[in-house]
Amino acid sequence: MYATSRGTVEMPAFMPVATQGTVKGLDPRSLGGTGTQMVLANAYHLAFRPGEEVVAAVGGLHRFMGWDGPILTDSGGFQIFSLAERTRITEDHAVFRSHIDGREVAVSPERAIAIQEALGSDVAMVLDHVVALPNDPGLVREAAERSVRWARRCRDAARRSDQALFGIVQGGLDAGLRRWCAEQLTRLDLDGYAVGGLSVGEPPAAMYRTLDATVPVLPADRPRYLMGVGRPEDLLEAVHRGIDLFDCVMPTRNGRNALAFTDEGPLRLRNLKFERDQRPLEAGCSCPACCHSRAYLRHLFLAREMLGPILLSLHNVTYYQRLMAAARRAIAEDRFGPFRREKMLGWAAGPEPR
């Protein structure tokens, strides 16, 4: 359990991504019906549009979104990384050109905290330095060291007593560097710790090895958060290694593209074999999509009806939340190992090639 200023989150937990203050296609009431406890919004995007001062003026991010539960805001380090060709990193800040209007913008650790404090999220993330993988070992080390220094500056700049601050472990796929970074961050006595810079193209096995090296160094009494991950398999593998919190765009992005997650593996509903399939996506699922047949859902996508992406997004978020709730029960009943194996076997034997 993790207590925030807006309520308690049962962990392990999955946060749908509300990048610009919305989980695409899902209103807050529908989102709450999926079992979602906490969402992630992005300070980088909200600072550009509509601007953190606008959000603050209308009562903060919760009121702006109409979401009463906890919100975590990402500082924007990954977005700055994704704009690498137009980004210049100095010790003081990252300088880059806006993806909206091309104007030059500087974001320092202090500025990242000021934005998130104005937004009023329950959890703020430090500004970190993310680099692509694979990369020059010297550059990876430099980014990890800078991430620690920036985390200290974020901590020192934080003023809100009702907003938790999480550090972010960097270090690429170098196990020793990851451990060093984790050790340095824990000395800052932050409210939680994230593992960042993964799920950027490395094989799953490499990510798992990195977690094996990193997670044991992080305090067990603080949330341990794996950023930007991922597939249902990755979630259970990470829970097995001690991760408590996740976010990823996969449920909604895949839902918008006619892919549904199920215990039998993913269903790609544009496939012709679903044209007359009268079964629901998944028997026993109570989400709105599963009130309809696979044939009808396929029709919605082929007809380009907006209801199709909405329904599949709802199903996929519901599936992820059911998976996390089942994992919590299995942990409480001391049967997570068998639970994980059963799920993995079901996904591996699914109806479609992986």
Estimate to the nearest angstrom the gap between the alpha carbon of 128 and the chain centroid: 16
How many Cβ atoms from other residues are within 10 Å of residue 230's Cβ?
Answer: 20
Contact criterion met (CB below 8 Å) for 179 and 214: yes
State both tokens at 8: 């308690």
Pairing of strands 104-107, 94-97: antiparallel
What three-state secondary structure class fits 161? coil
244 is catalytic: no
In angstroms, the CA 307 to CA 256 distance is 10
In angstroms, the CA 340 to CA 29 distance is 31
Catalytic residue among 122, 128, 247, 263: 247
The 10 Å CB-count burial string (b at 16+, else e) for 105-140 is bebbbbbbbbbbbbbbbbbbbbbbbbbeeeeeeeeb
Estimate to the nearest angstrom the gap between the alpha carbon of 352 and the chain centroid: 26
In angstroms, the CA 120 to CA 162 distance is 9
**How much of the chain is helix, strand and coil, in % rounded to 5?**
45, 15, 40
For tokens 């907003």, the residue is: 163
247 is catalytic: yes
**Identity (one letter) of the amino acid at 330?**
A
Nearest Cα to Cα of residue 267 among 237, 298, 236, 291: 298
In angstroms, the CA 14 to CA 226 distance is 10
Q: In terms of C-beta density within 10 A (0-12 exposed, 13-18 middle, 19 or more buried), how is residue 346 classed? A: middle
Pairing of strands 245-248, 224-226: parallel
Residue 112 phi/psi, 5-degree rounding, is: -60, -40
Residues known to be catalytic? 74, 247
